[in-house]
Amino acid sequence: MRRWSLAVVCALVFVAPDCLAQAASPAATTGQDQIIRSAEAFIRNLFTWGPEYKLKLGPLAPSPASGFYTLPIEVTVNGQSEKGTFYVSKDGKTFLRGEMFDMAADPFAATRAKLHIEGNPSMGPADARVTIVEFSDFECPHCREVHAVLHTIEENYPQVRVVYKDFPLTQIHPWAETAAIGGRCAYDQSPTAFWKIHDLIFDNQDALSPDNIWDQLVNFAGQAGLDTNAFKVCMASPDAKKAVDENRDEGTALNVNSTPTLFINGRTLAGGDLKTIEQFIDFELHRK
């Protein structure tokens, strides 16, 4: 029997994040229970998922198409879980995987509603027509590249707001979370100083390590004009880490699984290609 990695599982079932936010339906009727059982048998056969794949399906909920139910699914294998959404027709005869949209609604509104912007470092006007929310990791080389890209965006599009959110990948980047906590402590003491710390971390990324990150952050705090004693107290307290964890949890809820991931007025962009960012911004600035 063919086996699927969790990454493949994710690619197969991970669709339409806005649909996951829909309210749960009432308790399934007997007919709905049968649809769920039939759907599970079909899904297992379609993807060759044997008994080692634990599936949790339902409850059925309304979908953008009146003839279909939304069918949430959680797949667990090797101790790891992923969630996604399928669709099944109300007569139980048709199965659909892919994204389904209500063309009368804004397809990015649900994502924007999940992005908590206030209380996070930002540059640009608060009433900007275009807001870029970046989930980033200070130890990530690609994030350093996007750091330079966003400087270009700030210069060319001063009317755009950029919001920074922490998403340290602790499994592969041992000092990223400490750097994120340092950035949060800088922000708490002086929002403008955050960006100085932010730039210093990325500009010196290659020289940072788990052994020197604490001392280097204190040094950066001094260069940014912060009270280094207060900065150290903050670094040792749980409050800054809690803020970092909340940002990471928010990113996870938005299906962020790599850095950098940008949200441009709710549109998801993994990576930071300059031309694509400019395309998104120009479209949003000129749309009616």
Structure confidence by residue, pLDDT tens digits, 91-148 = 999 999 888 888 888 999 999 999 999 999 999 999 999 999 999 999 999 999 999 9
Residue 27 pLDDT more than 60? no
Tell me: do 165 and 275 sit in the same domain.
yes
Q: Which of 231, 213, 210, 212 has the alpha carbon at shortest distance from 221?
A: 231
Task: Please report whether residue 67 resides in a domain.
Answer: yes
d(CA 218, CA 140): 21
Task: Please report whether residue 165 resides in a domain.
Answer: yes
Tell me: do 139 and 171 sit in the same domain.
yes
What is the CB neighbour count within 10 angstroms for residue 86? 24
Task: Please report whether residue 238 resides in a domain.
Answer: yes
Report the chain's mean pLDDT, rounded to a whole number. 89
Most confident option among 6-15, 62-71, 117-126: 117-126
Tell me: do 258 and 127 sit in the same domain.
yes
Residue 156 pLDDT more than 90? yes
> At residue 253, what is the residue type?
A
d(CA 88, CA 94): 6
Q: Final residue of a domain: which of 51, 72, 96?
A: 96
Tell me: do 76 and 125 sit in the same domain.
no
Tell me: do 71 and 132 sit in the same domain.
no
- Take residue 36 and report the two structure tokens written for it: 């769920």
Question: Residue holding tokens 């932010």?
Answer: 198
| Mean local confidence (pLDDT), 176-184 | 98
The distance of Cα 114 from the centroid of its chain, to the nearest Å, equals 10
Task: Please report whether residue 247 resides in a domain.
Answer: yes
Q: Final residue of a domain: which of 37, 71, 96?
A: 96
d(CA 229, CA 119): 23
- Take residue 107 and report the two structure tokens written for it: 């397809």
d(CA 46, CA 251): 30
d(CA 243, CA 235): 12
> At residue 162, what is the residue type?
V
Please report, for the domain that includes residue 55, its CATH number: 3.10.450.630
pTM (2 decimals)? 0.77
Give me the torsion for CA of 265, 147, 282, 191, rounded to 10°: 60
pLDDT of residue 29: 52
d(CA 273, CA 270): 9
Task: Please report whether residue 104 resides in a domain.
Answer: no
Count of domains in the chain? 2
Tell me: do 233 and 140 sit in the same domain.
yes
Tell me if 77 sits within 8 A of 43, measured CB to CB. Answer: no
- Take residue 218 and report the two structure tokens written for it: 């204190």
CA angle in degrees (0–180, nearest 5) for 153-159-163: 65
- Domain holding 174, by residue range, is 110-286
- Of 100-104, 163-167, 192-196, which gets the smallest average pLDDT? 100-104
Tell me: do 266 and 131 sit in the same domain.
yes
Phi and psi, residue 264, nearest 5°: -110, 105
Please report, for the domain that includes residue 244, its CATH number: 3.40.30.10
pLDDT of residue 97: 87
Tell me: do 199 and 71 sit in the same domain.
no
